[in-house]
């Protein structure tokens, strides 16, 4: 690159630095984008002059550069149009131009086509045609640019262009799960992003309906308020995208966890006592994306009505306010909802009650969008409005669709102000993948599916219970309120229960119905905590849980609600193991409530009897179990089900006093993973040794039950999974576990050093505060050890390694992973625990390995 090129590059660098600095201090994003475009224009013109092409080609800016809105690290897209088929000299000069522009530091995207070639490409590819819609002459013969503009207009088939762009948008939205509420959204391409706004202007321009927002307003496609909403939210998205480019130092359109705090800081957003700055930023983003999504719907429907004139079917009067017209719900007059304010809620009820209607007209959507401000305190206190909202919840169909529509139009948040506070609110707990409002609607979706016959095969027990509930809509109310207090500080279950009680009283629910809703909100986490954190095979645990439930009705409702809630957090959180734990707890509690109270001794005898009946089916004699059972105490029978006891007994009949390790496996009863039985003379570091082997094979321990027999044998069972090779598809894998694990135990080799895996990107940015809690059990001889932290490969073995190093014996282990959150509970004993200093040392060492 010659001296002129070096000077050009330095000039461009200084202009960019100045523009970015001005943006960071004044936040005028339009000045930044237009300034960068003008700076590139000047560089391109000088480069063209250096290569001597100013009269031979037209340089046309396309894409974002063509719009005059160039982000700091966006591609500079240019179209080079030769006046005629280029000869070798022109080709060489064009190559020199492209090389020079690259050397100047531009992220260049270029093509060289004649106008005729552009016509062929534009008429066959809607993406190319779209880019040419915003073409702008930078330098060169104006007649070439005019010829290009005329050609573009001649290529446009308005109806086809509309349909093609609509399909393109649908495909793009599918790539982003059709939701603007991703925890790491793409502010350009994602639903509700800048591309959705650009799409409207492209379609409007191609349809001859305007090129700018005020132009669309002049043609009646937007109201004045909608125009300002478009400008305001476009500015929000542009500012965020500009900061993303600046912070990343490259083209980056995703609001990744790594940069959310930095973007919030750049926007001078301050944290509060209960919310991080990044949470406030993301809520602002979601509000903007939500508004963009609504504008996109309104404008596209408006343009569709202009381009595709439907066969005018006479309107059917539904009531004084609403009519059915061309398969959509419409209002009788533009001011209908101002006269009939109940219609702001009744519109959704009417739509749910009429299967034949496909949606809402543009006029109705607009009336609801603008009329939401009419929903004030007096509106919410009106008995007719309260009755309408309850009637919607009790509809046989359409409940979820209409609540989603109400949320999208901000009607739901205005009717329930407490709900409005959690719209777009992030949940940094590493297992919720939805914002709070979207999670609530996901839970509602799951509850609705339980009540539909076509989905009964998915969760038969939930469907059976749901269809037996007298008032399933009470669960929908509980769903609306169960997480509504997130982000306020304090116990969100208790705060949500208070809000739910206020709602129920104001909507005249009976005392019994109110009690059920409040119970579900207050205890929506109770069942999962007991099932996953306590030993549900212990009758005392079941007794306590059944006492909290109090009745079969509450147990039924909470079980269904808990399944819907966990499934609504993240696809990764729900699995067959959690499903089985919840169902087992439900069945245990159901039997306990049916019999009111069963003494522990009687429960154990029943469990033993069921195990013996199972053994009899396998041909085991009536006394064969006695040598083994003599070595098993009450604790063993409390911790294991009849199914487990029968399996252990059948496997160990001939090995009660074996000198070698016995390892057996079977497919897990939960339908996922395998259960592995280890029986061997007890060793101090056995638990750690077994954990080390499973980790070395890439297997995850989901549950562990550790027991020591009266004659000093370890009888341990592990529930393990292997994501690479599923146990249910490979009997060879189970054989390998049995062979290699028994050999590994027999080797008694020194324990390997833990190899801690790296934290995920999400965990690094939003780590869970590690916690280690050690407390004596009721007898004071053993200790309960609770460990909470961010899950990662090798964590369980690292914990087991510390316990082994301190000669701590693990009696039971409850391994629980929620997304990327590990919550493990151990019952332990050892000499070290007899002194306060020893307890402190153990807690300190464990905290060191749990901390990221």
Structure confidence at residue 129 (pLDDT): 92
Q: What's 781's DSSP letter?
A: S
Structure confidence at residue 763 (pLDDT): 54
Are 547 and 584 contained in the same domain?
A: yes
Are 551 and 612 contained in the same domain?
A: no
Given 577, 595, 613, the domain boundary residue is: 595
Q: In 569-606, which positions are buried (b, 16+ CB within 10 angstroms) versus exposed (e)?
A: bbeebebebbbbbbbbbbebbbebbeeeeeeeeebeee
Q: Is residue 31 part of a domain?
A: yes
Strand order in the sheet with 322-325: 316-317, 322-325, 328-331
Structure confidence at residue 600 (pLDDT): 66
Are 204 and 322 contained in the same domain?
A: yes
The CATH number covering residue 51 comes to 3.30.460.10
Are 729 and 806 contained in the same domain?
A: yes
Are 581 and 644 contained in the same domain?
A: no
- Relative orientation angle of helices 473-481 and 383-393, to the nearest 10 degrees: 110
Those residues whose C-beta lies under 8 Å from the C-beta of residue 148, and which sit 6 or more positions away, are 58, 60, 79, 81, 115, 118, 132, 135
Are 691 and 828 contained in the same domain?
A: yes
Q: Is residue 390 part of a domain?
A: no
729 touches 787 (CB < 8 A): no
Are 651 and 705 contained in the same domain?
A: yes
Structure confidence at residue 523 (pLDDT): 96
Q: Is the dihedral of CA 366, 369, 374, 375 positive or negative?
A: positive
3-state SS string over 93-140? Answer: HHHHHHHHHHHCCCCEEEEECCHHHHHHHHHHCHHHHHHHHCCEEEEC
Are 365 and 216 contained in the same domain?
A: yes
CA 89 to chain centre: 56
Closest CA to 281 of 185, 197, 192, 195: 185
Report the run of H or E that residue 360 belongs to, with start and end: none
Per this entry, what is the length of the chain?
852
What residue numbers bound the domain in which 170 lies? Answer: 164-369+405-413
Closest CA to 852 of 803, 794, 813, 808: 794
Structure confidence at residue 572 (pLDDT): 63
Are 555 and 488 contained in the same domain?
A: yes
Are 196 and 320 contained in the same domain?
A: yes
Residue-by-residue DSSP string for 38-97: HHHHHHHHHHHHHTT-TTTEEEEE-HHHHHT---TT--EEEEEEESSS--HHHHHHHHHH
Distance CA 29, CA 188 (A): 15
Structure confidence at residue 259 (pLDDT): 92
Q: Is residue 398 part of a domain?
A: no
Q: Is residue 419 part of a domain?
A: no
**482 three-class SS:** coil
Distance CA 90, CA 270 (A): 56
422 touches 385 (CB < 8 A): no
Q: Is residue 247 part of a domain?
A: yes
Q: Average pLDDT per run of 10 along the chain, which is 852 residues long?
A: 77 92 90 95 92 89 92 94 86 90 89 90 90 92 92 91 92 84 90 95 94 93 92 96 94 91 93 86 92 92 84 82 90 92 96 89 90 93 96 93 92 94 73 77 92 81 90 96 89 94 96 97 94 80 92 95 87 73 90 73 85 91 92 86 93 93 86 87 89 88 86 91 66 82 88 73 64 78 85 85 90 72 83 89 90 76
Are 632 and 501 contained in the same domain?
A: no
> And the tokens for 837?
């200093």
Given 571, 595, 619, the domain boundary residue is: 595
Look at the chain and report how many structural domains it folds into. Answer: 4
Are 515 and 646 contained in the same domain?
A: no
Q: Is residue 342 part of a domain?
A: yes
Structure confidence at residue 829 (pLDDT): 87
Q: Is residue 421 part of a domain?
A: no
**780 three-class SS:** coil
Residue-by-residue DSSP string for 783-833: EEEEEEEE--TTHHHHHHHHHHHTTPEEEEEE--EETTEEEEEEEEE-GGG
Residue-by-residue DSSP string for 385-445: HHHHHHHHHT-SS-HHHHHHHHHHTTHHHHHSHHHHTTTT----SSS--S-HHHHHHHHHH
Structure confidence at residue 775 (pLDDT): 85
The CATH number covering residue 338 comes to 1.20.120.330
Structure confidence at residue 586 (pLDDT): 93
Q: Is residue 362 part of a domain?
A: yes
Given 595, 626, 653, the domain boundary residue is: 595
Residue-by-residue DSSP string for 660-678: S-EEEEEE-TTSSSEEEEE
């Amino acid at each position: 690159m010659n001296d002129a090129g070096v000077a050009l590059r330095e000039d461009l660098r200084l202009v960019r630095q100045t523009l970015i600095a001005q943006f960071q201090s004044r936040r005028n994003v339009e000045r930044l984008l237009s300034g960068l475009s003008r700076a590139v224009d000047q560089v391109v013109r000088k480069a063209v002059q250096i290569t001597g092409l100013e009269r031979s080609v037209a340089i046309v800016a396309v894409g974002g550069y063509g719009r005059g809105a160039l982000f700091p690290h966006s591609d500079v897209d240019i179209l080079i149009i030769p006046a005629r088929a280029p000869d070798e000299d022109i080709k060489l000069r064009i190559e020199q131009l492209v090389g020079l522009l690259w050397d100047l530091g531009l992220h260049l995207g270029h093509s060289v086509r004649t106008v005729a070639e552009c016509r062929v490409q534009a008429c066959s590819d809607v993406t190319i045609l779209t880019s040419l819609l915003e073409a702008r002459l930078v330098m060169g013969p104006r007649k070439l640019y005019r010829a290009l503009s005329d050609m573009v207009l001649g290529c446009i088939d308005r109806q086809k262009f509309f349909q093609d762009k609509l399909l393109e948008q649908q495909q793009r939205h599918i790539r982003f799960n059709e939701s603007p509420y991703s925890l790491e959204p793409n502010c350009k391409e994602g639903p509700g992003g800048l591309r959705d706004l650009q799409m409207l202007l492209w379609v409007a321009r191609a349809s001859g309906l305007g090129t700018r927002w005020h132009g669309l307003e002049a043609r009646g496609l937007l109201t004045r308020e909608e125009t300002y909403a478009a400008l305001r939210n476009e500015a929000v998205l542009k500012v965020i995208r500009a900061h993303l480019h600046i912070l990343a130092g490259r083209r980056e359109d995703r609001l990744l966890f790594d940069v959310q705090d930095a973007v919030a800081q750049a926007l001078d957003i301050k944290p509060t006592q209960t919310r991080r700055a990044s949470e406030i930023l993301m809520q602002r983003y979601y509000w903007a994306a939500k508004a963009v999504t609504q504008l996109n719907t309104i404008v596209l429907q408006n343009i569709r009505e202009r381009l595709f004139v439907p066969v005018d079917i006479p309107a059917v009067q539904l009531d004084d306010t609403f009519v059915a017209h061309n398969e959509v719900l419409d209002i009788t007059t533009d001011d209908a909802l101002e006269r009939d304010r109940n219609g702001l809620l009744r519109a959704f009820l009417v739509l749910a009650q009429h299967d034949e209607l496909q949606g809402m007209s543009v006029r109705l959507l607009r009336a609801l969008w603008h009329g939401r401000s009419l929903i004030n305190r007096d509106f919410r206190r009106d008995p007719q409005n309260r009755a309408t909202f309850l009637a919607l919840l009790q509809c046989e169909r359409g409940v979820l669709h209409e609540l989603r529509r109400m949320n999208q139009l901000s009607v739901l948040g205005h009717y329930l102000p407490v709900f409005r506070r959690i719209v777009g609110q992030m949940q940094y707990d590493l297992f919720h993948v939805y914002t709070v409002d979207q999670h609530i609607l996901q839970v509602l979706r799951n509850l609705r599916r339980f009540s539909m016959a076509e989905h009964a095969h998915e969760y038969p027990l939930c469907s059976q219970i749901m269809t037996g509930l007298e008032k399933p809509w009470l669960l929908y109310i509980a769903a609306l309120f169960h997480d509504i207090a997130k982000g306020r500080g304090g116990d969100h279950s208790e705060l949500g229960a208070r809000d739910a009680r206020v709602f129920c009283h104001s909507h005249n629910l009976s005392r019994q119905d109110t009690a059920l809703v409040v119970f579900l909100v207050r205890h929506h986490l109770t069942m999962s905590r007991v099932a996953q954190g306590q030993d549900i095979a212990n009758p005392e645990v079941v007794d306590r849980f059944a006492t909290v439930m109090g009745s079969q009705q509450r147990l039924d409702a909470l079980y269904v609600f808990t399944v819907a809630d966990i499934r609504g957090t993240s696809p990764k959180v729900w699995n067959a193991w959690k499903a089985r734990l919840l169902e087992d707890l439900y069945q245990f509690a159901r039997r306990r409530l049916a019999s009111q109270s069963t003494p522990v001794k009687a429960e154990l005898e029943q469990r033993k009897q069921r195990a013996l009946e199972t053994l009899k089916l396998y041909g085991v004699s009536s006394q064969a179990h006695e040598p083994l059972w003599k070595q098993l105490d009450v604790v063993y029978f409390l911790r294991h089900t009849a199914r487990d006891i029968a399996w252990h007994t059948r496997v160990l009949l001939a090995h009660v006093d074996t000198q070698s390790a016995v390892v057996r496996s079977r497919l897990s009863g939960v339908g996922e993973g395998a259960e592995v039985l280890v029986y061997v003379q007890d060793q101090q570091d056995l638990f750690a040794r077994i954990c080390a082997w499973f980790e070395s094979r890439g297997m995850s321990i989901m549950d562990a039950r550790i027991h020591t027999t009266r004659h000093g044998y370890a009888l341990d069972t592990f529930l393990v999974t292997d994501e690479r090779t599923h146990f249910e598809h490979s009997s060879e894998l189970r054989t390998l576990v049995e062979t290699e694990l028994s050999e590994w135990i027999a080797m008694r080799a020194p324990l390997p050093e833990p190899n801690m895996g790296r934290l995920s990107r999400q965990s690094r940015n939003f780590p869970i505060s590690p916690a280690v809690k050690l407390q004596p059990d009721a007898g004071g001889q053993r200790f309960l050890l609770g460990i909470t932290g961010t899950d990662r490969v090798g964590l369980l073995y690292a914990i087991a390694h510390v316990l082994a190093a301190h000669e701590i014996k693990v009696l039971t282990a409850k391994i629980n992973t929620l997304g990327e959150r590990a919550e493990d509970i151990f019952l332990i004993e050892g000499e070290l625990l007899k002194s306060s200093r020893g307890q402190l040392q153990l807690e300190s060492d464990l905290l060191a390995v749990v901390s990221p």
